[in-house]
Copies of this chain bind each other. A is one copy, B any other.
Amino acid sequence: MSKSKVVELPVLDTEAVVPCCPPITAGELSPEDAERMSAMFKALSDPVRLRLFSKVASHAGGEACVCDISDVGVSQPTVSHHLKKLKDAGLLTSERRGTWVYYKVAPSVVAAMSAMLDLRV
């Protein structure tokens, strides 16, 4: 972390969020926006999390139950831990349906990250 103090996680309202951040080429980020966006990139900064995310995103309907994606080489509690981080960062949402819990991608948030890295000139 850049600061030695604990930073509260955004815990975005997944739906309401969105608007932050034009392409980086458009101007420098405010410290606040940098804080928010870096938290999202951080969610994808771990190889296990990135694989979990890609498994959900590439699954039919952009949604998958934990049991479908748990095969990533770490223990089940660790999988759960990583999914929680992705959820807290606003990249995934979860919903329980009967016995299983389904995770799916939050398109608007992911799109914001992609747009921010758009270097178009």
Interface residues of A (CB under 8 A from B): 1-3, 24-29, 31, 34-35, 37-39, 41-42, 44-51, 53-55, 57-58, 62, 73-74, 105, 107, 110-111, 113-115, 117-119
Contact = CB atoms under 8 A, between A and B. Distances in A.
B117 A26 contact: no
Given A2-B46, A46-B1, A117-B110, A34 B54 contact: yes
Contacts of A107: 119
A41 to B, nearest CB: 4
Closest 9 CB pairs of A and B: A42-B45, A114-B117, A2-B48, A41-B44, A45-B45, A24-B57, A34-B47, A38-B47, A29-B54
Contacts of A26: 58
